[in-house]
Structure 1
């Protein structure tokens, strides 16, 4: 136990956290900045390169810009890169980007630091946006300590298990209604080689707190582990962590995709779509791509709840949402874009032009009542909604937690801690070190954070 006199004051901690968020960028160069800054009728939007975001980019000029006259300059980057670039611009309040894709992890922290423009004033003046239609877990997760809204969801997600129904049938296998992780491992072993070149399962191994650590932390939770106990003691050297990580690493090494240490969401989606894996545990948002028109596996995928061990459920709660930078020179036009990109009308547009299975769902109650969506997304929409509603961000494990979060810990330092731990885990998946060595190093990293929070 460290003495109180050795802890840094809160103001120092906040500054250190901001420095941690932007540090990865200080030694690198970035390509593809969205213009020389917003102004006039133009706004700059920085967003992740997920499929539904790319579809939004394609639809914007012909619809939003045509209707409003507001030009949108997009910068689109992979997840790890976009997080770093957003944190740099917003922490510095540089104002280069008016809008960015932020998650329910960042938004409460950014709001606390004064980096975001509140949205309550816009919502009140824009009843057509229908804020109450946004699912309550999403609204709550995007609310600051002051009770104000600082984000609007583009889509919401939990996590579940996706599997090839036709391959299961050919092998005489049945997916349990509520699978355990041990059952999944047994199935993966039997599914290896079910088709030429097919592996049993895809699990993320790519470093990044939002990559490998997202699914792995849900496994840790359901195996009985936690990053920190209620007194902020780091617990990455606990038997539960060792069991969970040995299980995960062993499963992906023995029955997982090729190139697992470099496989994130996008790579696993590609593997599942191309028939290279029989199962995949990941975000519920993946289902729209798997069931999209032209997908080689459309109609062949089954969906089961996130596997469990010691908990009733284990799916995460996550939203890619829109945040407006407080330093934006064009917040009114930024809100017009945010409200359009998160609206019922935008969902209708996607449904009509691209397909209802591609709608960025998981955020509005009306989506799940829409007959066209229910018909086209019948394979996964109910399982997705149940997963979102069953997520428990304040109580995801078997013990009390000092901060909210299922697949993350809701503190500013987690971006750096989670990324460093992910590098150790990925190295274990690659066979460059043992799980015990990875967790020994990870525990030391977590203890440094725990020291700052003990006694709070």
Structure 2
């Protein structure tokens, strides 16, 4: 072999070795919902502009994701470099020094463009600890054609009586059209997210000012009874196994007259590629109980955070900045249209005329998010913050246990009164064990 050829081959091999040595893989734990799956399909844009970084995905169902990332970060396992977490975990984990601060995002990221309510929820003492991928409140999504056929009107700010009358009129079980679809799958972030928001709107609270559980109150009794009535009389079969994704599929297939859930669902129910009822969807704010002005106070942001246990902090932060920056929003718009842009994170999106035109739900989403008051989710005095959750570390376990009781009531295994009694007892026991009041 010619000397020059050998030298070139040697240099080429050395280059490959150097490239391999320089590349690093970051592992991203995320939830299996539509926006996150869409993001995974667009990551060629990131890897093309960051050739030294490779991405490995761990995509999990919501309850499993929470369990896995909580276990990993609490034990400093270092299994993940980027975690998809929510507004519940961020302040708790940041105060434990489990998350790296994101106060050094690259130039052009524009932290000040983040919606104030979302930015505040993801910050501790003014420092951002997670970047919002999308934000949400909760609202009513309903079939305008079925409402018209049934002769009912859904006000922009409905009461629960409006909802009950509408779902009864829209139900047509002979044709597999169910008046309402709601979360029934147990989990603090599944059925309890909805039921807590509903209970808030009825004037209920999880705890009094002495941290005594309140499931024996008339407000909780009224909320749970109405939830079970709607689901048992006008909901789909097997609802105790349905979470966000299952109800989304039912609505897209035309089997739900109404769905009350996260505002982020709006782009999926109005997408003609996936939804058979895309041009027949109306929107309204989360319902309030008659005589009250409390609409659930649901506020959430699925966000990307970097655990302190990572060995690839800089690469991880680069990915977080890419996935939650303005450039990603523009990438989604270019590839799939403005309607598909991740909602609920940036002021500039809601000021964009193209987005306003493409997303008929934009104004209702923003109104719902701005209306949420996570500092006081109940009309009664409370010792905690959080909208559809209670912002204490113990809530993850307690909320899921209570969710199992309510899911069992929906499945007909126990009565509403038995479920509430069990919820009261188990919550009281766990709070005493945790040392409340502290």
- Other-structure match for 2:386: 405
User: Which whole-Å CA distance do the structure 2 matches of 1:236 and 1:194 have between them?
Assistant: 33
User: TM-score, length-normalised on structure 2?
Assistant: 0.92
Contact kept, 8 Å, 1:64 with 1:337, in 2: the verdict is: yes
* Corresponding pairs, count: 413
Contact kept, 8 Å, 2:184 with 2:407, in 1: the verdict is: yes
Which secondary structure state, in structure 1, belongs to the residue aligned with residue 404 of structure 2? Answer: helix
Task: Give, in angstroms, the shift of residue 312 of structure 1.
Answer: 3.6
Which secondary structure state, in structure 2, belongs to the residue aligned with residue 285 of structure 1? Answer: helix
User: Which whole-Å CA distance do the structure 1 matches of 2:22 and 2:277 have between them?
Assistant: 44
Task: Give, in angstroms, the shift of residue 222 of structure 1.
Answer: 1.2
Cα deviation digits, residues 287-332 of structure 1 (max 9, x gap): 0111124132212100000001133422400000001010110110
- Other-structure match for 1:276: 255
Unpaired segments of 5 or more residues in structure 2?
Answer: 1-20
User: Which whole-Å CA distance do the structure 2 matches of 1:432 and 1:50 have between them?
Assistant: 30
User: Which whole-Å CA distance do the structure 2 matches of 1:93 and 1:455 have between them?
Assistant: 29
Contact kept, 8 Å, 2:284 with 2:364, in 1: the verdict is: yes
Contact kept, 8 Å, 1:171 with 1:194, in 2: the verdict is: no
Task: Give, in angstroms, the shift of residue 455 of structure 1.
Answer: 4.1
- Other-structure match for 2:308: 326
Unpaired segments of 5 or more residues in structure 1?
Answer: 1-37
Aligned counterpart in structure 1 of residue 72 of structure 2, from 89, 94, 105: 89
- Structure 1 position 214 matched with structure 2 position 193: yes
Contact kept, 8 Å, 1:163 with 1:303, in 2: the verdict is: yes
User: Which whole-Å CA distance do the structure 1 matches of 2:368 and 2:174 have between them?
Assistant: 30
| 1:60-139 → structure 2 map (5 Å cutoff) | 60=43, 62-69=44-51, 70-120=53-103, 122-123=104-105, 126-139=106-119
CA separation of 1:453/1:385 partners in 2, compared to 1, >3 Å: closer, same or farther?
farther
Task: Give, in angstroms, the shift of residue 187 of structure 1.
Answer: 1.1
- Other-structure match for 2:411: 430
Which secondary structure state, in structure 1, belongs to the residue aligned with residue 42 of structure 2? Answer: helix
User: Which whole-Å CA distance do the structure 2 matches of 1:426 and 1:143 have between them?
Assistant: 33
Contact kept, 8 Å, 1:292 with 1:355, in 2: the verdict is: no
Which secondary structure state, in structure 2, belongs to the residue aligned with residue 426 of structure 1? Answer: helix
- Other-structure match for 1:11: none
- Other-structure match for 1:143: 123
Contact kept, 8 Å, 2:147 with 2:166, in 1: the verdict is: no
Which secondary structure state, in structure 1, belongs to the residue aligned with residue 379 of structure 2? Answer: coil
Cα deviation digits, residues 94-141 of structure 1 (max 9, x gap): 111100100000011111112111111x13xx2300000000111110
Aligned counterpart in structure 1 of residue 221 of structure 2, from 214, 226, 242: 242
Contact kept, 8 Å, 1:160 with 1:305, in 2: the verdict is: yes
Contact kept, 8 Å, 2:297 with 2:374, in 1: the verdict is: no
Task: Give, in angstroms, the shift of residue 448 of structure 1.
Answer: 2.1
- Structure 1 position 314 matched with structure 2 position 296: yes
Task: Give, in angstroms, the shift of residue 186 of structure 1.
Answer: 1.4
Cα deviation digits, residues 163-201 of structure 1 (max 9, x gap): 001111122221123111122111111111188210100
User: TM-score, length-normalised on structure 1?
Assistant: 0.88
Contact kept, 8 Å, 2:140 with 2:258, in 1: the verdict is: yes
Which secondary structure state, in structure 2, belongs to the residue aligned with residue 340 of structure 1? Answer: helix
- Other-structure match for 2:40: 57
CA separation of 1:331/1:237 partners in 2, compared to 1, >3 Å: closer, same or farther?
same
User: Which whole-Å CA distance do the structure 1 matches of 2:249 and 2:22 have between them?
Assistant: 38
- Other-structure match for 1:20: none
- Other-structure match for 2:371: 390
Between stretches 419-428 and 223-232, larger displacement belongs to 223-232
- Structure 1 position 359 matched with structure 2 position 341: yes
Which secondary structure state, in structure 1, belongs to the residue aligned with residue 85 of structure 2? Answer: strand
- Other-structure match for 2:17: none
User: Which whole-Å CA distance do the structure 1 matches of 2:249 and 2:228 have between them?
Assistant: 21
Contact kept, 8 Å, 2:132 with 2:303, in 1: the verdict is: yes
- Other-structure match for 1:13: none
Larger Rg: 2
Which secondary structure state, in structure 2, belongs to the residue aligned with residue 202 of structure 1? Answer: coil
Show structure 1 runs of 4+ deviating over 3 A.
Answer: 452-456
Task: Give, in angstroms, the shift of residue 410 of structure 1.
Answer: 0.2
Cα deviation digits, residues 413-443 of structure 1 (max 9, x gap): 1110000000000000000100111111110
Aligned counterpart in structure 2 of residue 191 of structure 1, from 170, 182, 193: 170
User: Which whole-Å CA distance do the structure 2 matches of 1:453 and 1:384 have between them?
Assistant: 39
Contact kept, 8 Å, 1:39 with 1:329, in 2: the verdict is: no
Task: Give, in angstroms, the shift of residue 374 of structure 1.
Answer: 1.1
Which secondary structure state, in structure 2, belongs to the residue aligned with residue 228 of structure 1? Answer: coil
